[in-house]
């Protein structure tokens, strides 16, 4: 098992499973490497269990890395934005596609700017479309009021399924 070793003036040995699943071992300055390896081996079942908890569910592990040919994601995204701007009767001033660690999209209604997470490249197109409609709908209704959700539902009658589906891809945010 591979791990990163960090030695310090501590008295005990500790194993940390980091959010990306890698293993970090913190050890006292003079503890022999063989002792550390022995300890890791004795804890390997526990380490694997912890890693399994933070890695994607098995049915998602074999996903192709991207759902798009190179450069296509941005083009397709901007095209969907254009289509929905027309259907919803809104206009954006800026569409940013970038990596974000905790959200799929954001909208600043005042300046009419929307941002979309570049990790959507790894999600099904229906999820991408949901996020785009969600953010564009904020140009008409800035909070998550009943009126807001009515706009979304009117645009995408299936939005609840699309929204649920997106949750299955939450792990994508962690691996980037
Ligand atoms: Zn929102």
Q: Which DSSP symbol is given to 57?
A: P
Q: Would you state the structure tokens that stand for residue 144, as one six-digit string?
A: 């998550």
CA distances to 32, 67, 129, 139 from 133, in Å = 57, 20, 6, 10
- Compare 49 and 6 and report the one with higher pLDDT: 6
CA of 68 to the centre of ligand 1 (A): 25
CA of 21 to the centre of ligand 1 (A): 30
CA of 104 to the centre of ligand 1 (A): 10
The stretch 107-133 carries a mean pLDDT of 94
Q: What is the pLDDT of residues 92-114, one digit of tens each?
A: 999 999 988 889 999 999 999 99
Judging by beta carbons within 10 Å of its beta carbon (0-12, 13-18, 19+), is residue 130 exposed, middle or buried? buried
CA of 172 to the centre of ligand 1 (A): 20
CA distance 26 to 30: 12
**Residue 136: what pLDDT?**
98
CA of 81 to the centre of ligand 1 (A): 16
Instruction: With a cut of 60, say whether residue 59 has pLDDT above it.
Output: no
Q: What is the pLDDT of residues 62-101, one digit of tens each?
A: 554 566 877 899 999 999 999 999 999 999 999 999 988 8
Question: Up-side HSE of residue 127: CA atoms within 13 Å toward CB?
Answer: 21
Q: Which domains does the chain have, with CATH numbers?
A: 4-54 (no CATH), 72-175 (3.30.2010.10)
CA of 135 to the centre of ligand 1 (A): 6
**Residue 175: what pLDDT?**
60
Q: Would you state the structure tokens that stand for residue 166, as one six-digit string?
A: 């997106």
pTM: 0.66
């Amino acid at each position: 098992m591979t791990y990163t070793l960090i030695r310090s003036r501590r008295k005990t040995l500790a194993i940390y499973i980091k959010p990306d699943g890698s293993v970090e071992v913190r050890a006292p300055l003079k503890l022999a490497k063989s002792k550390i390896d022995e300890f890791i081996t004795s804890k390997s079942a526990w380490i694997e269990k912890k890693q399994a908890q933070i890695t994607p569910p098995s049915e998602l592990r074999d996903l192709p890395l991207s759902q798009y040919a190179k450069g296509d994601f941005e083009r397709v995204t901007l095209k969907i934005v254009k289509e929905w701007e027309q259907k919803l009767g809104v206009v954006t001033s800026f569409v940013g596609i970038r990596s974000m660690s905790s959200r799929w999209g954001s909208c600043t209604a005042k300046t009419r700017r929307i941002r979309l997470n570049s990790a959507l490249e790894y999600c099904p197109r229906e999820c991408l479309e949901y996020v785009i409609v969600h953010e564009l709908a904020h140009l008409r209704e800035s909070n998550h009021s009943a009126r807001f959700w009515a706009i979304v539902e009117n645009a995408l009658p299936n939005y609840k399924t699309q929204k649920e589906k997106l949750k299955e891809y939450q792990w994508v945010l962690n691996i980037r």
